[in-house]
Structure 1
Amino acid sequence: MSITAAAGFTAAGVVAGLKSTGARDVALVQNLGPLQSAAAVFTSNRCKANPVLWSEQVIADGVVSAIVLNSGGANCYTGAQGFQVTHRTAELVGEHLEVSAGDVLVCSTGLIGDQLDLAKLTAGVRDASVELETGAEAGEAAARAIMTTDTVPKQATVRSEQGWSVGGMAKGAGMLAPGLATMLVVITTDAALDSVDLDAALREATRMSFDRLDSDGCMSTNDTVALLASGASGVTPDAAGFTAALTQVCRDLTLQLQADAEGAAHDVAIRVLNAASEDEAVDVARAVSRSNLFKAAIFGNDPNWGRVLAPWAPPTRSSTRTASTSP
């Protein structure tokens, strides 16, 4: 189980016809409460897709009743028409679930530049709202509906001994680079927490997981990680305990994303010791991970440690090269 592991949530994944393959392509997750607290983090790419622009407004008050996601089109670089499609999608969810459209997050993934077919989305939202269920099958259907070039659905769950749970689903296989790494992630919990606590925990968890994943160095326009809390367990965990569980789910999903990255033949963990700061360590690790020289060595199974050292100490713009001369 994943997003339906936590009490107070239903999910569905249906076929709307957005994908030429005929696979599931619209997912819907509803928070039944009693709380509807939420937090989210988004792509740091300066070009943000229309669903991101919409969802950034929705999350501002920390209240989310539902989240609708589609694959088969990113709805990015689609102009005002694309934003209207996003807005209308949220309205459709609101109408079917009897909630405010302003409390509905919208996520899209797929090819950039193509307009989404609103008629197909309309049918997809209708069908998904009817099929909302609890249980593992509903959670997996939703996880499959957000897949693009993914080969397998990504799901993770952590259950606390205190009676609350955290579950998540993710998609992402290409454009994997820090600043979330290309992904749509929905995480649910039945812990009783407000949006402020959720935001603090989510930012720490993503910092230690998704923000450390790098495959091709390309950052997506649609990255979204959303965390929803229903409070259905009636338990308010301590901040450290909840953050640890959330981080565990995020790391699990990160490893699944890494294992399914497009064209990847090796999984590599880069550890930096004795750095002056965490930021410096991350910069060094990122420089190595994005080095074509290093990637060529890994691909060729060549244990040339010089190709690890070389990428992280390039000259700065202010540095000068000293020419050597013979006496």
Structure 2
Amino acid sequence: MQRITIVGGGIAGLALAAALEPAGRHVTLIERRPGLPVTGTSLAIWPTAEAALRRLGAFEGLAAVSPSIDRFPIARADGRDRVVSEVPTSVLAGRRDLLGALDAAVPDSVERVVRHVERFDPDDPAFSADVVVGADGVHSAVRRAAWGDAAAAVTTPYLAVRGVLPHETPSEEWGEYWGRGRLYGIGPHRDGTNWYTSFRSNLGPREVDVRAALDEARTGSRDILPSIARVLDEADPDRTLAQRIITGPRLRSYVRGRTVLVGDAAHAMTPNLGRGGCEAIVDAVTLAGLLDALPVDEALARYDAERVRPTKRLAGTSGLVMRIALADRAQPVRDGLLRAVGALRARRAPTPARPAEPVR
């Protein structure tokens, strides 16, 4: 009987527990929270993650209750120099809905343990499994124990504040808006409007006062689109999350012996590409498929070969986009580039066909 212990019951941990073939193995899922979150903002489900969710039988129900998008414009904070960015048609799933769909896909054979693993002890009988999976987020206790202090999380100077409003926003206002040292986003949510903003702040890094974060977001926002100002004014602290943006270390490998990392424990990235949750799902389904098909050591080596390079590339690109979007002194240069890209796309847009002249 193969034993697999998964530390962390978030997106990555639930997806892995759902994806693993239960026959011939005992899977233990350790999670500190006894239930699902009350609410949560939207996550775009990109095509690779959609395919993984379909394999778990978790996509159709999620899509039935979620809005979708096929474009997400980028513009200056005042709404000018709008660049229309077409994206693959993607479901925008509420975090609670996504976790609920994954949770429902976990077989009853998985043993669930409610426990906060603050310090990972390899000698603890709970972790004496054939495979130990760190799915415990950016501050992963599993990663710290197996990779050492050099693998600590990296704290950025930026804060992410996001929430949900209980009413819809017109689709023409959806998009991401870049100001001086600040960015804002507005999009659909099954319960109304998903919104977010990021900016430099001294709050945190661990426990961030939501009301103080909202005050900073409101008082520091100038020359912005009226719809953004309205969203910030209407934001309810009880439906708002405020967190320091923290990224993971650049690991050369996600495997150390029989210990393996997935999701944010392996490659926590800034939220600018909206890919963190998606890559966590792909990690989990990839690892499960390899463990089902190959001996453990070979499966872990293949997982490393398949997942390290693409996730490191995405993390690097996401960090670069964050620096561009939150430019302060370089804002005029950035806005000039936005203006140039917008003009170029406008020139390349197809010209509507003229109606034929009537025959006389």
TM-score normalized by structure 2? Answer: 0.26
Tell me the TM-score normalized by structure 1.
Answer: 0.27
Q: Which of these two proteins has the greater Rg computed from alpha carbons?
A: 2
